[in-house]
Structure 1
Amino acid sequence: MGNVFRGHEVFARDLFTLLGDSVDITLFKGGGDAAPGELVIGNISRNASCLDDIHVATSPKWAASLKAQERCRIEGETFAYAALKPLLEGEFDVIHCLEREVCEIIYDKRHLFRTTPKILFSNGGAIPARDLPRCDFVQEHTELNLSYSAKGKSFLIPHGVDVELFSPEVVTDFRVRHGIPHDAFVVISVGAISYGHKRMDYVVREVAAVKGAFLLVAGQETKDTPEIISLGKQLMGDRIVFTTVQHRDLPKLYAAANVFTLGSVFETFGIVYIEAMAMGLPVICTNHKNQRAIVKEGIFIDVTRSGALTQAIRDTDRASLSALGQRGREIVLQSYDIRVLKSQYIERYQAIASSSVSLPNYSLKNRLASNAKNAIQGIVRLIFGRAE
């Protein structure tokens, strides 16, 4: 948080705000300003220029991907080690981690704590049980991900949304400020402006083919952003608007649109889906069983097929879209209202805090393993001698 702006960071901020009046909670973040209950932890940001010369021994085809992974790993590890001192001093009962590297480092350093904390990992990457980081408990956000998770220590609490902040009642002047006619049909997509996971170029091409439709793209800029903006202007001219806003200002963007879409083939959850639904917008998205379970009632398409999104926008009558939007709001109120989820978090934290965890103890097994290791080292020294 403070280095990048994704659903992960929105989730952490919302959870901290939600529980602040009921739980003694501290937010550890990687950037921004210090505030009551919030600690800024030093780290080497994934975007730091000192990482521009990363060397990876791999095929040029995968070099960019591996370098990006290295940036994230360095950010997570430097953050985790810098966080150790305030964590040790704070004597926390539960440490809720969103990043793998942070989770594993803190878990491996639990022997440093006077009172052993419970390490809870929030699985925002749909990581299956065999690949989960070392931790005591795992929070999953969908039923599908829960089915793949570690049995016995995983539980389900979905992402939530502030239904008062994200509401159909929000008033906006966005159309006026950007010269969009009041009766124009506007599509909105919220996510990183990139070719990769979010596939914003796909959204641009598909909406461009819908006569008269406007497209609003809101998200964090990436190295792909200039090319995608150029593509959008080339295909749509004044019918497309690119912007980056603070999360608290997103409702005014949603309020300017008629329908929400996302080009990604799969999302672990996708907070933007339920934000749009809370605003009363119909959702057009990937026909993946995870998204079908989350959105429940939307228009599900094969986003890998050229023309699929164009057809869905063009051929669905406006009355049906409006009805889907109204139903979406009802679904959010039933399943994703963050105030309803609050009690679930408090109960789960209490259960985790009162659970028993144990550190490794000296045992006959440890003794035999240690003796065997020392014997092998002694034989090696006899054969090859000592360095000194």
Structure 2
Amino acid sequence: METQKVFIGERELKIAFLSAGLGNISRGFEISTSTWYNHIKLQKQISAKLFSGGKFPGASRIWNLPRNGKVAQILRITGVIHDGCRLEQLTYSFGFLLQLLVYKPDIIWLQEATLAKMLLKYRKAFKLKYRLMFCDGAPVGHDFAKQFDYQIYLHQFALQEALVAGTAAERCAVIPHICKEPDYAYTKSEARNALGVHERQFVLLCVAAWNIHHKRINYLLEEMANGLNDVLLLLCGQPENETPYLKRLAAELHINVRWHTFNQDDLGKAYRAADLFVLPSLNEGLGAVLVEAGLHGLPIICHPHKAAQFILGNEYSGFVDLSVKGNLYKKIKDCTVVNGINIESAQMNRLSIEGERTRRIVVEKFASKKLIQDFIDFLNKTYPLKTA
């Protein structure tokens, strides 16, 4: 992709991509940070560097106390902390201090709130000149994000709220995360064979952290228990504090479920093997897994929150109010039964058509070349740059 080369004076713009969790855990935050870095580092117009909290290919590792490490576990047991995320980010910020003086980034791109606050404090304390580009991926909202130099929102509704609240338009932009496009290295049959899934099994996929407070995996399990015994639920994600309870609940309810923590390649097999995708959360910063599912041609069931409407359009057929008990069960049942007969070819054909429609919607809006250009354009718009 040909774009103008971005300079400050006579040197390239230096951008640091930060993720305290990267290498310690693998969720949307970590995957999106490394994905952005891997694309931006290829652009001739800027100099990019990736800083991770754990060992990760291509990244400079920063010292920290990982959220799932021994110290964090002890502090949780003793009641000093609830979870290790803030501990991880706080200690990572200490470790990154040296890089602020050695690497001297012009812009720091990040998504983690505690880390971002610490970098604001360091800039003031040490009179440094870097600028902070905060991507509101959680989301934490514009009231928090407005304190940073630049704000990236993942959908148009979040940007509109920021503008209405008085944020200057030149300081913010809508730039959704780049999602990995499927390479279709496997047929559906091959993917199922690799995962040990029977050819005729109906597979429902959910890619989400195994928690209650946000992803609402408990709701998903309870809906499955209403009479979806013939459906295999693949739960692909990361364990959290609430996970042991969720696994006990699944056992008590006799859910046909498999729990997997996959790398990106194996996760691609899960998308390929599935018939239907579900995300039970009621709100998302973006919900990049919805984009990923769409790119893989899967029909989607999710709550019609604003991010989902941004991704799939206001009238998407897979929307259902997931705050209501029983609604998810009915929607899944509708996808697995036609005329009282389970998984007939006519129904599977309907799902295939809906999946292809979903794929077209997502491809049009989330093409990686467009998003990369949007990122570069935002840099040129917000920084006093000289172009050549």
TM class by shorter-chain length?
A: 0.7 to 0.9
Q: Is the 8 A contact 2:277 2:299 kept in 1?
A: yes
- Where do 1:267-286 residues align within 5 Å? 267-286=284-303
Q: Which residue of 2 aligns with 1:151?
A: 167
Alignment counterpart, residue 142 of structure 2, candidates 129, 137, 140:
129
5 Å matches for 1:192-203? 192-203=209-220
- Deviation string 1:171-211 (CA, Å, 9 cap, x unpaired) is 56343355532122110011112222112122223234225
Alignment CA distance shift 1:55-1:174 (3 Å):
closer
- What corresponds to 2:243 in structure 1? 225
Partner SS state of residue 258, structure 2: strand
Residue 115 to residue 231, structure 1, CA distance change in 2 (3 Å): closer
Closer, same or farther in 2 for the Cα pair 1:336/1:169, shift >3 Å?
Answer: farther
- State the distance in 2 between where 1:129 and 1:199 align: 24
5 Å matches for 1:336-355? 336-354=366-384
2-structure distance, mates of 1:201, 1:168:
33
Matched, 1:42 2:42: no
Report the CA distance between 1:169 and its aligned residue: 6.4
Counterparts of 1:225 and 1:281 in 2: how far apart (Å)? Answer: 26
- Structure 2 gaps of 5+ residues are 1-21, 336-346
Instruction: Tell me if 1:261 matches 2:278.
Output: yes
Aligned to 2:322: 303
Q: How does 1:239-388 map to 2 (within 5 A)?
A: 239-296=256-313, 297-316=316-335, 317-354=347-384
Secondary structure of 1:261's counterpart equals strand
1:248 Cα offset (Å): 3.0
**Alpha-carbon distance in 2 for matches of 1:216, 1:84:** 41
CA distance in 1, matches of 2:330, 2:308: 20
Matched, 1:77 2:100: no
Q: Of the candidates 23, 46, 50, which is equivalent to residue 2 of structure 1?
A: 23
AA at the equivalent of 2:26: F
CA deviation after TM superposition for structure 1 residue 218, in Å: 0.8
Displacement, 1:79?
A: 1.1
Structure 2 partner of 1:31 = 54
Corresponding residue number in structure 1 for 2:17: none
CA distance in 2, matches of 1:179, 1:103: 43
Unaligned runs of 5+ in 1: 57-62, 357-388
TM-score by length of 1: 0.80
Counterpart in the other structure of 1:142: 155
For the residue of structure 2 that corresponds to 1:84, the secondary structure is helix
Q: State the partner residue of 1:367.
A: none
Percent pairwise identity: 26
Letter in 1 for 2:203: V
Structure showing greater radius of gyration is 1
Name the counterpart of 1:359.
none
What amino acid does structure 1 have at the position aligned with 2:62?
I
Structure number with the higher helix fraction is: 1
1:207-238 CA distances to partner (integer Å, 9 max, x unpaired)?
3422521111111112333332343344446x
**2:178 is equivalent to residue 160 of structure 1:** yes
Q: CA deviation at 1:53?
A: 5.2
- Partner AA of 2:48 in structure 1: I
Query: Does the CA contact (< 8 Å) of 1:88 and 1:112 recur in 2?
Result: no
Q: Displacement, 1:318? A: 3.8
